[in-house]
Structure 1
Amino acid sequence: MQNFSKYHQNIVYQKKENLGHIINCSFEFFPPKSINLEKNLWFSVEQLSKLKPKFFSVTYGANSGERLKTYEIVKKINKKTQVITAAHLTCVDSTPDELKRIAQDYWNNGIQSIVALRGDTLKKNYRHKMYALDLVILLKKIADFDISVAAYPELHPESKDAKFDIMSLKKKIDAGANRAITQFFFNVESYLRFRDNCIKNNINVEIIPGILPVYNFQQLQRFAEMTNVHIPKWMFEIFYGLDDDIAVQKIIGSSIVIDMVKNLSSEGVKNFHFYTLNQSEVIYSVCRMLGL
């Protein structure tokens, strides 16, 4: 017990020493598919609101039902919490007229922040081949939206090379996007190299790191395969044999996130975007440990 106490005293000391400056957070949610999951969402929203986030965001599904839910949830979160709430908007399988109507409805209802994405499609041959750049241009023609776009420290799954990724991001920023939020990653050096590369190419907006805590390592591996994210060897080693012990996985995952945020903070990063998966327990604990 004595050693345990000293360990926690050391954590508090490190927090004060390394994170004395202000760190800001934002959180991403997704539309729930059932009443029980919706209750979980609102519990998470309420708990994470206590951390005074810079903004919330809500993802946009690949079918019309989920897209309508996004619209409703964004407005409800914004009204209940008074926290800026950004609506994800994808363009891959929508007409320009449909997108204009959706964007205008958001603006008319006080939702002025958009996360502009190409998105995935349910069809192999989709109708309207638009990209995130086209969506940024379209949004800026409608109103002066505050626009976030995606960035990929370890390359977009469909990217040719790092230069192609950087140039794609630069075009979105030059078209009027206000910031970029990265895909999740676990190699801090990948983010720092990417940020340096952005600066070298005159991308002078904030590159907010997207942080995904480990809730379930098997689930994480599936996400990583879909998104071209590299999971370091040491993570496979540390989670080996824990497939049936989700509680321990979450504790280890919390420690990993705390270390990542500390390291990024020491490199001047002040804002962090957390992918919640509509769960608040791990992220709320992490943020409290970080001094939020």
Structure 2
Amino acid sequence: MTDLPTPDSPTSGHTRLSRAVGDAPINVSFEFFPPKTDEMEKTLWTAIQRLAPLAPNFVSVTYGAGGSTRERTHSTVARIVRETALKPAAHLTCVAATRAEVEDVVRGYREAGVHHVVALRGDPPEGPGAVYHPHPDGFASTPELIEGIRAIGDFEVSVSAYPERHPASPDWASEIDLLKRKVDAGATRAITQFFFENDLYDAYVERVRAAGISIPIVPGILPILGLAQVTRFAERTGASVPAWVARRFEGLEDDAGTRQLVSAAVAAEQVLDLVDRGVTDFHFYTMNRADLVYAICHLLGLRPQPAAVAA
């Protein structure tokens, strides 16, 4: 029998970087949302404790529309600072708030020991489909919000990016111009909305680099806990759920165990393909659920670092 080249052999032409992930640095970050109940708080802290040993670059905590979770977000990031060695990033929006109110929040983060803000315009409090109207005494846009943050302290500032274009963007020129204005205002990193077709991410990065924007564009990865939930998220954010993804979950509505296995397979396929394309940084939307994200990180070559658990 003639020996055939394997997918990893020098003669195959298909070197799989993902099969050597332990030999190359992979950086991850995790996003959580603030709890609304005591039970949700327990779930959140179980997730944080599970993922902390993987030594993420940072962990972010979201901020509800119109600042509806402002106090819970602050409480969560302050507790992360006090009780862990993790570096928290607090989300901040400029919806339905005056400049003075937003600036007070930023100062509160600084006093709590938080040095990283995820700056977002935010969604209208009226819900999906509503037209955004800046507060008459507030920040009119994300670039203005970033400038306000930077005026208060030397914060690291992450911003959002949209591989399939933000629903409010009329064209790609407007989309990329807004990102450039965010960078000019002081943004240091962009984190993408979730996506499932990696070619969309590649095309977006190509557009960004062609515009002279050099900050990291970190892919946002959303493991699918439930197809209906992800479909709702996608409708609100301008993302798409490809037919091939939907087909993989057909008939699993009442089969949670198999659904979990399929979710892991879909997410692993996506992240390992991104590694093969040269991506080294990943941001995971955890939905405050840790096991699936932990498994994906294990595939990426990450292993627990005991010193990362406590300060």
In 2, the alpha carbon distance for the partners of 1:16 and 1:232 equals 26
**Counterpart position of 1:7:** none
SS at match of 1:269: coil
Distance 1:250 1:223 in 2: 19
Q: Which residue of 2 aligns with 1:277?
A: 287
Q: Deviations over 1:223-257 (max 9, x none)?
A: 11111111111112111111112222221111111
Per the alignment, residue 175 of structure 1 pairs with 185
Shift of 1:103: 0.8
Amino acid at match of 2:28: C
Checking the alignment, whether the CA contact within 8 Å between 1:153 and 1:194 is kept in structure 2 is yes
Map of 2:92 onto structure 1 = 89
| CA distance in 1: counterparts of 2:24 and 2:190, whole angstroms | 22
**Contact map agreement 2:143 2:181 (CA 8 A) in 1:** yes
Task: Tell me which amino acid in the other structure corresponds to 2:49.
Answer: E
Q: 1:73 aligns with which of 70, 76, 89?
A: 76
1:187 deviates by 0.6
Aligned residues: 280
**Aligned partners of 1:88 and 1:114 also within 8 Å:** yes
State yes or no: 1:101 paired with 2:104: yes
Number of the residue aligned with 1:55: 58
Determine if contact 1:217/1:249 at 8 Å carries over to the other structure: no
Aligned mate of 2:230, from 197, 220, 230: 220
**How far off its partner does 1:64 sit?**
5.1
- 3-state SS of the aligned residue for 1:144? coil
Q: Using a 3 Å threshold, how does the CA distance of structure 1 residues 138 and 43 change in structure 2: closer, same or farther?
A: same
Which residue of 2 is the match for residue 161 of structure 1? 171
Query: Would you tell me which structure has more helix in proportion to its own residues?
Result: 1
AA aligned to 2:73 is: T
Q: Is the 8 A contact 1:19 1:265 kept in 2?
A: no
Distance change >3 Å, CA 66–CA 232, structure 1 → 2: same
Counterpart residue number, 1:146: 156
Q: Find the counterpart in structure 1 of residue 115 from structure 2.
A: 112
Letter in 2 for 1:48: L
Stretches of structure 1 lacking an aligned partner (at least 5 in a row): 1-12
CA RMSD of aligned residues (A): 1.7
Instruction: Name the structure 2 match of 1:127.
Output: 135
Q: Aligned to 1:262, what secondary structure does the other structure show? A: helix
Counterpart Cα distance in 2 of 1:167 and 1:185:
21
Q: 1:44 corresponds to which residue?
A: 47
Say which SS state the counterpart of residue 119 (structure 2) adopts: strand
Q: Residue 136 of structure 1 corresponds to which residue in structure 2?
A: 146
Q: Calculate percent identity across the aligned residue pairs.
A: 40
d(CA) in 2 for partners of 1:127, 1:208:
30
* Cα shift readout 1:86-119 (whole Å, capped 9, x = no counterpart): 0000002111111111111211221110000001
Amino acid at match of 2:229: Q
TM-score norm. by structure 1 comes to 0.91
The answer for unaligned runs of 5 or more in structure 2 is 1-15, 303-311
